[in-house]
Amino acid sequence: METPSQEYEPVRQAVEAARQAGLAYGAVVCRTSAALAWGWGVLRIPPEPHLTIPKNRRTARLRLSGVVVRKANLRESEIDGGVTTPARTLMDCLRYLPLIEGLCVADSALREGFSRSRLDELAANARGPGAMKIKLNARLATPEAANPFESALRGIALGVTGLAVTPQVPLREKGLFLGRPDLVDRRLRIVLEADSAQFHATVAGINREHRTLRPARRKRLARTALHLAAGAAPSALGP
């Protein structure tokens, strides 16, 4: 298992809690807890570890507390060091998470080196409940997304009729590099950016940045007739 790529204390704590819970209950770390363990970003850090136990295992004697338990009969080939393998983790997240949260995991997995061809193969072979979600997110996923909050904003934008955004587009005007915004609709000349408290001390800090730095950026973009929309991820996604 890899060390989580996100240098973010809540992530480290969540990964360690999941590992300890898996050992304590003889269970396998799964879903978003497993995604974090493999160093992938998720939209929401799970407040409790997600674990998988065999379907025929009784839970009454385990005295489960502070964990979310799923029942599934995993093959040995789907477990690696007490955690579902990257392939099984990704398929579980795409199958069971809401569409946008699944997209966040898929983007991050590709960004961290999961094979594009392997994802396409897994999606093509997906069957049963959630298979259509798997296939859709596999088609939409891209390693170009910088972080889960950008992925979530892109997921929201995909539902807006007439809006077609591309992540991390380098913008230049007369040879001058203007920046690499999170999302750009070239046809409508709209720039979307998503900030999160993960990369700022507080949401208030995000709003302060919008009041100070964003006006200067808006002026640069205005010279090329581009329109900037920026906001904190919590505002865009709700509670």
Domain for residue 101, yes or no?
yes
pLDDT value at residue 180 = 82
18 shares its domain with 128? yes
pLDDT value at residue 203 = 38
Domain boundary among 120, 143, 166: 143
Residue 233 has pLDDT above 50, yes or no: no
Q: Domain of 124?
A: 9-143
108 shares its domain with 196? no
136 shares its domain with 201? no
pLDDT value at residue 16 = 97
What is the tens place of the pLDDT at every residue in 156-202? 999 999 999 999 888 877 777 777 888 988 888 888 887 654 543 33
Domain boundary among 143, 170, 186: 143
138 shares its domain with 53? yes
Place of tokens 């040995």: 76
Report the first-to-last Cα separation within the chain, whole angstroms: 31
What is the tens place of the pLDDT at every residue in 92-115? 999 999 999 999 999 999 999 999
179 shares its domain with 226? yes
> Half-sphere exposure of residue 132, counting CA atoms within 13 Å on the CB side?
1
Q: Any idea what the CATH number is for the domain that residue 155 is in?
A: 3.40.960
73 shares its domain with 110? yes
pLDDT band at 219 (very low <50, low <70, confident <90, very high): low
What is the tens place of the pLDDT at every residue in 105-152? 999 999 999 999 999 999 999 999 999 999 999 999 999 999 999 999
57 shares its domain with 31? yes
Residue 41 has pLDDT above 70, yes or no: yes
174 shares its domain with 90? no
Element (H, E) at 115: none
Q: Please count the structural domains in the chain.
A: 2
Domain for residue 70, yes or no?
yes
CA dist., res. 39 & res. 155, Å (int) = 21
Domain for residue 2, yes or no?
no
Q: Which residues contact 127 (CB under 8 A, 6 or more apart)?
A: none
Q: Which residues contact 55 (CB under 8 A, 6 or more apart)?
A: 71, 72, 73
pLDDT value at residue 28 = 98
Q: What angle do CA 11, 31, 59 make, to 5 degrees?
A: 110
pLDDT mean over 71-80: 97
pLDDT band at 8 (very low <50, low <70, confident <90, very high): confident
Domain boundary among 143, 167, 194: 143
pLDDT value at residue 64 = 75
Domain for residue 3, yes or no?
no
- Give Cα 239 to chain centroid, integer Å: 16
Domain for residue 90, yes or no?
yes
76 shares its domain with 121? yes
